[in-house]
């Protein structure tokens, strides 16, 4: 088993190796102690890595749940195959934001920023849900953090607010505000991709990357010339998020033809 996992870990990027080691530690705990191990909230890339590693052996199983169907952030349970896993084992709670909707407007970034500013770790917060009008907001969190978050959060930005716990079956459906666009790019270098999608100069893109304002798969991008793959999630501060959905050959001028999901800010 160890040899199989060691060989597959070589196919992941260098900056992902610490997380791979974390997964191996979780697997060892589940196997040695014959118990379930509950992880923090994982982003989709981490979920993929975890499941890839666990699928390389037969003694353990992984289960993912984010509190609502289609959640981007999900917690994982790693456990021996014979264990009967229930939804309550994931330790997830749902908070709804109560605020004066007629007089104030909230945004995803403001809600998340408020939580982070108060010292609440990102990995205990799951998806932030909203309705089509972006007036109703809900936050999926680690159940152990509910009391602390309720006591600590009295404002979202400058808006007075309080958080009420609801049963998970009252969660809003996951809505995506991705817009699909066709983009031509000369290569899959990170700086080229960002420049092409967000119509920025290469020098501006270089500055954004070098100042730590670009994330790839939720990790700070280290190099302008790193290669981006289909499915990678790119986040550029104050500009938006993008994900290459597919590649469809090259144009007559030898440009890559890409279909990209984009959220502009």
Specify the CATH class of 179-264 in words. alpha beta
- SS3 sequence, the chain? CHHHHHHHHCCCCHHHHHHHHHHHHHHHHHHHCCCCEEEEEECHHHHHHHHHHHCCCCCEEEEEECCCCCCCCEEEEEEECCCCCCHHHHCEEEEEEECCCCCCCCCHHHHHHHHHHCCCCHHHEEEEEECCCCCCEEEEEEHHHHHHHHHHCCEECCEECEEEEECHHHCCCCCCCCEEEEEEECCCEHHHHHHHHHCCCHHHHHHHHHCCCEEECCEECCCCCCECCCCCEEEECCCEEEEEEEEEEECCCCCEEEEEEEEEC
pLDDT at 123: 94
> Is the pLDDT reported for residue 4 higher than 80?
no
Residues 162-215 pLDDT 10s: 999 999 999 999 987 789 999 999 999 999 999 999 999 999 999 999 999 999
Question: Does residue 1 surpass a pLDDT of 80?
Answer: no
Q: Mean pLDDT, to the nearest integer, of 10-25? A: 87
Instruction: Give tens-digit pLDDT for 21-64.
Output: 999 999 999 999 999 999 999 988 899 899 999 988 778 999 99
In this structure, CATH architecture of domain 1-87: 2-Layer Sandwich (3.30)
> Domain locations in the chain?
1-87, 92-170, 179-264
pLDDT in tens, 208-219: 999 999 999 888
CATH class, 92-170 region: alpha beta
């Amino acid at each position: 088993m160890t040899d199989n996992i060691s060989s597959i870990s070589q196919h992941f990027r260098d900056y992902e190796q610490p997380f791979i080691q974390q997964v191996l530690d979780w697997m060892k705990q589940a196997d040695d102690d014959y118990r379930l191990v509950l992880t923090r909230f994982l982003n989709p890339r981490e979920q993929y890595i975890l499941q890839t590693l666990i699928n390389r052996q037969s003694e353990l199983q992984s289960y993912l749940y984010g509190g609502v169907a289609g959640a981007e952030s999900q917690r994982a349970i790693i456990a021996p195959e014979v264990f009967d896993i229930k939804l309550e084992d994931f330790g997830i709670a749902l908070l709804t934001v109560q605020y004066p909707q007629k007089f104030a407007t909230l945004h995803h970034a403001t809600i998340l920023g408020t939580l982070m500013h108060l010292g609440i770790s990102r990995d205990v917060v799951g998806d932030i849900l909203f309705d089509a009008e972006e007036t109703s907001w809900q936050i999926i969190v680690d159940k152990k953090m509910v009391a602390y978050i309720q006591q600590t959060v009295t404002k979202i930005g400058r808006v007075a607010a309080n958080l009420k716990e609801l049963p998970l079956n009252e969660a809003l459906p996951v809505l995506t505000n991705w817009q699909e666009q066709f983009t031509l790019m000369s290569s899959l270098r990170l700086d080229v991709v960002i420049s092409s999608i967000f119509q920025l100069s290469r020098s501006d893109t270089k500055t954004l990357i070098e100042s730590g304002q670009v994330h790839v798969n939720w990790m700070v991008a280290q190099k302008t010339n790193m290669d981006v793959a289909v499915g990678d999630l790119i986040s550029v501060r104050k500009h938006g998020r993008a994900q290459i959905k597919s590649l469809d050959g090259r144009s007559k001028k030898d440009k890559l033809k890409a279909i990209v999901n984009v959220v502009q800010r």
